[in-house]
């Protein structure tokens, strides 16, 4: 681990009990793939409403959807350390 870049993940456990996962190691560039779907959907919102009483504010707006996903592609490239 000396000289390697490290990233801390706050959802990992801080106390060690039996079967607690305390660290992940591996080559994340080959083991995990982030994928973006081509294209973005944009729709017009004809009437925006207020936050408190849900009445129309007299404004128009846009809402945009962009789809992303990810997953493990090489299972042996990433491992976690588990206390037994």
| Tens digit of each residue's pLDDT (9 = 90 or more) over 68-83 | 999 989 988 988 888 8
Mean pLDDT in the chain?
86
With bands split at pLDDT 50, 70 and 90, how would you rate the model's confidence at 44?
Answer: very high
Distance between CA atoms of 75 and 42, rounded to whole angstroms? 36
Q: How far is CA 15 from CA 11, 38, 53, 79, in A?
A: 12, 42, 45, 19
Averaged pLDDT, 30-38:
89
Identify the residue with better confidence: 79 or 10: 79
């Amino acid at each position: 681990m000396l000289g390697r870049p490290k990233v801390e993940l706050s959802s990992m456990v801080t106390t060690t009990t039996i079967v607690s996962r305390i660290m992940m190691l591996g080559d994340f560039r080959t083991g995990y793939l982030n994928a973006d779907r081509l294209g973005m959907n944009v729709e017009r919102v004809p009437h925006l409403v207020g936050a408190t009483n849900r009445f129309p504010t007299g404004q128009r707006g846009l809402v945009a959807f962009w789809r992303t996903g990810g997953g493990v592609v090489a299972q042996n490239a990433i491992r976690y350390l588990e206390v037994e």
